[in-house]
Structure 1
Amino acid sequence: MMYPYMTLNDGTEITHSQLLDLQHDGTITVEVHFERTTDTGFDSARCFLPSYTWLYHEGFSAEEIKRFEQFLKRNVHLFFKFAGQGGIFCA
């Protein structure tokens, strides 16, 4: 399940997962998704925290991805907090 986090001024929606143990080794991960509508569909990007590993990024420029990564670094503690609580609206 993905929980809403924030909408940026350009319409980019940011959502995040619950706490995940994808490797089944106790390493806790949060998946963060960025999505923006376009005239022909969507720009989208997905990153795993805390490793800052990008699964993919399509439609966003390299500069936008760099800004998203800075945003993630400033908000990583909140993503983990809200992911553990069932989203920001449950906090």
Structure 2
Amino acid sequence: MMYPFMTLNDDTEITHSEMKADGKVKVYIETPDEFGGFHNATCWLPDYKWEDIEGYSDTEMAYFKQLIRNNAHLIIEFSQEGGILNAANS
């Protein structure tokens, strides 16, 4: 299951998984493109291992890497509480 975390002004969606048994959390970033498709990237926390990067420039990836690094503590916390919406209701 993936939980919403953040939507940016350009309609980029950032979602995350629940925390896996091995302590890892999948973070998925997806931005619609002008051709009806999507640019996407996946990051695994807490290792910050990036994979499946498609369509993003080096500048965009530098931004996303910093954004995820700055918010990793929140994403990891929410991954243990059923997402931000469930955490807000606790």
Q: Is the TM-score greater than 0.5? A: yes
- Displacement after TM superposition at 1:36 (Å): 0.9
**Number of matched pairs:** 86
Task: Write out per-residue CA displacement over residues 44-67 of structure 1, whole angstroms, 9 at most, x where no aligned residue.
Answer: 110101111112110111111111
1:28 and 2:51 equivalent? no
Which of 75, 78, 81 is the matching residue for 2:74? Answer: 78
- 1:24 aligns to what? none
State the SS of the aligned residue for 1:14. strand
Which aligned pairs between 1:28-47 and structure 2 lie closer than 5 A?
A: 28-40=23-35, 41-47=37-43
Q: Equivalents in 1 of 2:69, 2:50: separation in Å?
A: 13
- 1:61 aligns to what? 57
Q: Equivalents in 1 of 2:6, 2:72: separation in Å?
A: 14
- 1:5 aligns to what? 5
Q: Equivalents in 1 of 2:63, 2:20: separation in Å?
A: 24
- Displacement after TM superposition at 1:8 (Å): 0.6
* Unmatched 5+ stretches in structure 2: none
State the SS of the aligned residue for 2:47. coil
Give the partner amino acid of 1:84.
Q
Q: Equivalents in 2 of 1:63, 1:39: separation in Å?
A: 19
* Unmatched 5+ stretches in structure 1: 22-26
Large movers: runs of 4+ above 6 Å: none
- Aligned CA RMSD, in angstroms, stands at 0.9
